[in-house]
Amino acid sequence: MNKAARHDRLFQRLCLSAALLVMATLAGLLLALVIGGWPAISHFGPRFFTSAAWDPVADNYGAAGPLVGTLVTALGAMMLALPLAMGVAVFLVEFCPRRLAHPLGLAVEMLAGIPSIVYGMWGLFVLAPWFALHVQLPLLLNLDPDTFWGKLFNGIPNGANIFTASLILAVMVLPYMATVFREMLLTVPPHMREAAYGMGCTSYEVVTYIMIPYVRRSAIGAVMLGLGRALGETMAVTFVIGNSHAFPDSLFASGSTIASTIANEFAEASSDLHVSALMALGLVLFCITFATLAAARLLIGREAS
């Protein structure tokens, strides 16, 4: 073999090993979490996933509190972000004056560029006090605590609760979802839109009967992408969720998520079992987010994202 061919082979192998490294990262991630979390899972058994106990003093840990907190905040964020993201995307594609579409789209995408910790500070120092004063307090004073609504909105009026965490998460995932929605709506063939307009449809009817059904599949993918982000988001949530391990009993109760629990306790974990329990929490989070993100990628396909 001559020198050039050898050089070619070497370069190809170098590139291949870099690509394999990307794969190895994900495999290593899973392996490290399994190894790290195994002592806790084998020690507590299935109880680990159903118990809401989290007591570092007695070395007794259960994942249910943070797990429910993670799911509730992420789903809440999706309910807030989905209509907003859809609205933004439809507005930018259908109604926005052409000259404004680019700067407005850029502004929305810039929301994705703001670091998580900045969202956290803003949430803690700006959103939470405002929310406590103008939403929580009036509700607390005007609702009978024994009614359904009273129970739903019950909680210490300090603004650090599950709902504000969802609100912050919604703002954070909004740009990702809106950007994918927008790109998808742009793939709707013009003749379909024009045919519908030609039949006398209003914009509302064109969007809801023609455009959204056309992109339905990848729209679900975009929702899953946002969900995956919301599930694993750490710093912003840690600032505003109140960090209590109790099972949340109202919308305005403080709680915790898997990510916020790890962020708060890992560096100061008191015992080996505590570290292992946090690793096991990480494993749970890995499984949930991997499934969600994998589904998102399969639904969106490569081109639209």
Partner 1 sequence: MAVLSREKRRKIKNGAFVAATSLATVLAVGALLLILYSLLVNGLGGLGAHIFTMDQPPPETLGGLRNAMAGSLVLCALAMVMAVVVGVLAGTWLAEYGGTRKLANLVRFLNDVLLSAPSILVGLFVYEVLVRPFQGFSALAGAVALALLAVPVVTRTTEDILRLQSNQLREAGMALGAGKAYVIRAIIWRASRPGLVTGALLGFARISGETAPLLFTSLGNPNLSWHLTQPMGALPTTIFQFALSAFDDWRSLAWVGALLIAVTVLSANILGRALARRRDAR
In the window 247-266, what residues touch partner 1 (CB under 8 A)? 259, 262-263, 266
135 is a contact residue toward partner 1 (CB under 8 A): no
| Residue number with CB closer to partner 1 (14 or 58) | 14
Interface with partner 1 in residues 144-173 (CB under 8 A): 171
Judged by DSSP in three states, 144 sits in coil
Tokens of 204: 């509302």
Judged by CB under 8 A, the residue of 68, 71, 84, 251 near partner 1 is 84
Q: Is 54 left (phi over 0), alpha (psi -120 to 50) or beta?
A: beta
| Residue number with CB closer to partner 1 (20 or 195) | 20
CA distances (Å), 95 to each of 87, 92, 99, 101, 106, in order? 11, 6, 12, 9, 16
Judged by CB under 8 A, the residue of 60, 75, 94, 139 near partner 1 is 94
| Residue number with CB closer to partner 1 (228 or 255) | 228
Q: What CA–CA distance (Å, rounded) separates 209 from 41? A: 49
Q: What CA–CA distance (Å, rounded) separates 5 from 51? A: 61
Judged by DSSP in three states, 114 sits in coil
Interface with partner 1 in residues 34-63 (CB under 8 A): 35-36
| Residue number with CB closer to partner 1 (149 or 204) | 204
Tokens of 68: 């429910």
297 is a contact residue toward partner 1 (CB under 8 A): yes
Instruction: Assign 3-class secondary structure to 222-243.
Output: HHHHHHHHHHHCCHHHHHHCEC
Judged by CB under 8 A, the residue of 125, 149, 209, 247 near partner 1 is 125
Interface with partner 1 in residues 178-207 (CB under 8 A): 178, 202-205, 207
CA distances (Å), 1 to each of 4, 7, 14, 250, in order? 8, 10, 19, 72
Judged by DSSP in three states, 146 sits in coil
Q: C-beta of 35: minimal distance to partner 1 in Å?
A: 7
Tokens of 192: 């379909």
| Residue number with CB closer to partner 1 (205 or 249) | 205
Spatial neighbors of 202 by CB under 8 A, at least 6 apart, are: none
Query: 96 — phi, psi (to 5°)?
Result: -70, 140
209 is a contact residue toward partner 1 (CB under 8 A): no
79 is a contact residue toward partner 1 (CB under 8 A): no
220 is a contact residue toward partner 1 (CB under 8 A): no
Only segment of 48-56, 151-159, 181-189, 227-235 that touches partner 1 (CB under 8 A): 227-235
Q: C-beta of 150: minimal distance to partner 1 in Å?
A: 28
99 is a contact residue toward partner 1 (CB under 8 A): no
19 is a contact residue toward partner 1 (CB under 8 A): yes
Judged by CB under 8 A, the residue of 78, 86, 253, 277 near partner 1 is 86
8 is a contact residue toward partner 1 (CB under 8 A): yes
Judged by CB under 8 A, the residue of 72, 223, 225, 240 near partner 1 is 225
Spatial neighbors of 241 by CB under 8 A, at least 6 apart, are: 69, 73, 160, 161, 162, 164, 165, 254, 255, 256, 257, 260
The residue behind tokens 């969720």 is 241
Judged by DSSP in three states, 25 sits in helix
Only segment of 48-56, 59-67, 109-117, 185-193 that touches partner 1 (CB under 8 A): 109-117
Q: Is 219 left (phi over 0), alpha (psi -120 to 50) or beta?
A: alpha
Judged by CB under 8 A, the residue of 115, 129, 189, 213 near partner 1 is 115
